[in-house]
Amino acid sequence: MKNICFYFQVHQPLRLKRYRFFDIGQDHYYYDDFQTEDRLKTLVEQVYLPANRTIAEMIRSSNGKFRCAFSISGIALEQLEQHAPEVIDSFKELSKTGCIEFLAEPYAHSLSSIFDESEFIRQVNMHADKIDGLFGKRPTSFFNAELIYSDEIGELVSKMGYKTMMVDEAKHVLGWKSPNFVYTHSYIPKLKLLVRNHKLSDDLAFRFSNRSWSDFPLTAEKFIDWIVKTPDDEKVINLGMGYEVFGLIQQTYTGIFEFLKALPYHAMEHHVNFMLPSELSKKYEPAGALSVTYPMCWVGNDKDLTPWTGNDLQQEALTKLYAVGERVRLCSDKPLLHDWLMLQSSDHFRYMSHKDPYGTNYETAYDAFMNYMNVLADFLDRVDAQYPTTIDNEELNELLKTINQQEIEIETLENEIKKLKSKKDKLANGK
């Protein structure tokens, strides 16, 4: 009995507008609303609505046997709430069927898991709160942004109470092991790891409509057949991809939606089940532990962090950004806190890559760097204005604590005074 675990990433960053150095200090709004909304509309019309409808139909036609999971970033949720609430409604409908699961990720789809632990924890909680608020469910499984994973990150995630985490199939980690088993964290056995089947996922995501691919055309029957033909003891096939595969990377004319609709039927014919990540990790015993000392992800051939941190430009930007993390968390200015989240999305740094800037709207990596750094300069000025960097973080913290403490004391004393006054009044009246 084979099990397919489908999971989809839904994310779009807030695009920055053209921000020149003379705007620094003058203009505190960094976003290109037109571009963001435009791109979102395309995604909504070509991907989110049609794909959600298809999945709803698949759930109906299979009587609830079809299941899948979604990881929707906080930034994407905000954009959908603002520009396309019908998509949120569509997800709510899907959620009601009980056949989909929402996965947790850092709110801003950020690299905070690598650079700023406290920020990471904060963002994960923010995200879980948001998902709970919208859909009434708190996630129990984790899909870190860009499937970034390491033993350290796994430890953090487990401490926050998550039981399952998605990781990618990286040759240097798995070696000869097959991805089609459940694994555990290197030294925390209760954290289960589900390894994405890289060949099958990419076959569907990228090669589906490629006429020169040796396996073109890929039908649902053929795909299920491949799954059935995997060795008997391999029970778990994890297929993870960006949700844009359905309608944008593979456009409607390629027949991708028809492929999806036919999947449940062929799966049932061959006793192949669909499972949610949380169900899978409970059902099967792990086949071993995976040791990942250096962070890995799902991009590129090396599957390491070079697409976001590989060159000097990216290092500089990330260092400058995360240097003020602690200070920003002490602020209470809402726009500042919101900008702090938006500026952290991993995409900004991806666009600074010379080799592989997926999804960029900039002409060159230098262009991306210059624009981002100008925006960051203005942002850092604002943080400084709130809490000048001349004061040490610790000192600041202490001062704030004292102030808060004193506020509480004052409140308590005021209450006492009230009580005593009323006693006095009572006694005076009683006389």
Partner 1 sequence: MKALMFGWEFPPHILGGLGTASYGLTKGMAMQPDMEITFVIPRPHGDEDQSFLKILGACNVPVVWKENDWNHVNHRIGQMMHPDEYFRLRNGIKYDFNRIYTNDLGCIDFSGRYPDNLIEEISNYEAVASVLAHQLDFDIIHSHDWLTFPAGVFAKQISGKPLVIHVHATDFDRSRGQVNPIVYGIEKRGMDNADHIMTVSDLTRRIVIEKYHQDPRKVTTVHNAVDPLPDAGSFTKTPRNDKVVTFLGRITMQKGPEYFVEAAYRVLQKTRNVRFVMAGSGDMMNEMIDLVAKRNIADKFHFTGFLKGRQVHEMLAESDVYIMPSVSEPFGISPLEAMQVGTPSIISKQSGCAEILTHAIKTDYWDIDAMADAIYAIVKNPAMHKSLQELGRDEVNNIRWQDAGLKVRGIYESVM
Report the amino acid identity of residue 398: E
Nearer to partner 1, 24 or 272 (CB): 24
Nearer to partner 1, 165 or 317 (CB): 317
Tell me phi and psi for residue 274, to 5 degrees: -110, 135
d(Cα 180, Cα 201) in Å, to the nearest integer?
12
Report the amino acid identity of residue 154: G
Least gap, CB of 328 to partner 1 (angstroms): 21
Catalytically annotated residue among 119, 146, 244, 279: 146
**How many C-beta neighbours within 10 Å does residue 5 have?**
28
Cβ neighbors of 178 (< 8 A, separation 6 or more) are: 231, 234
Chain mean position to CA 365: 24
Nearer to partner 1, 14 or 373 (CB): 373
Q: From residue 278, how far is each of 21, 69, 113, 274, 360 by CA, in Å? A: 48, 10, 22, 12, 34
Nearer to partner 1, 263 or 365 (CB): 365
Least gap, CB of 364 to partner 1 (angstroms): 7
Nearer to partner 1, 230 or 315 (CB): 315
- Catalogue the E-assigned strands of 153-288: 164-167, 182-185, 192-195, 236-242, 272-274
User: What are 59's two structure tokens?
Assistant: 């759930």
Least gap, CB of 349 to partner 1 (angstroms): 13
Tell me phi and psi for residue 44, to 5 degrees: -60, -45
Three-class DSSP labels, 6-22: EEEEECCCCCECCCCHH
Q: DSSP label at 110?
A: B
Nearer to partner 1, 121 or 370 (CB): 370
- Catalogue the E-assigned strands of 214-368: 236-242, 272-274, 289-290
Binding site for partner 1 (CB under 8 A): 20-22, 24, 311-313, 315-317, 354, 363-364, 366-367, 369-370, 373-374, 377
**How many C-beta neighbours within 10 Å does residue 11 have?**
23
Least gap, CB of 36 to partner 1 (angstroms): 22
d(Cα 328, Cα 252) in Å, to the nearest integer?
44
Report the amino acid identity of residue 267: A
User: What are 40's two structure tokens?
Assistant: 């979102």
Is position 146 annotated as part of the catalytic site? yes
Nearer to partner 1, 315 or 397 (CB): 315
Least gap, CB of 380 to partner 1 (angstroms): 12
CA 333-336-342 angle, 5° bins: 145
Least gap, CB of 19 to partner 1 (angstroms): 9
Nearer to partner 1, 46 or 315 (CB): 315
CA-nearest of 148, 83, 62, 71 to 113 is 148
Least gap, CB of 347 to partner 1 (angstroms): 19
User: What are 124's two structure tokens?
Assistant: 């994960």
CA-nearest of 285, 273, 282 to 67 is 273
Q: From residue 205, how far is each of 63, 245, 248 by CA, in Å? A: 26, 6, 10
Least gap, CB of 306 to partner 1 (angstroms): 14
Cβ neighbors of 273 (< 8 A, separation 6 or more) are: 1, 2, 3, 4, 65, 267
Catalytic sites, residue numbers: 146
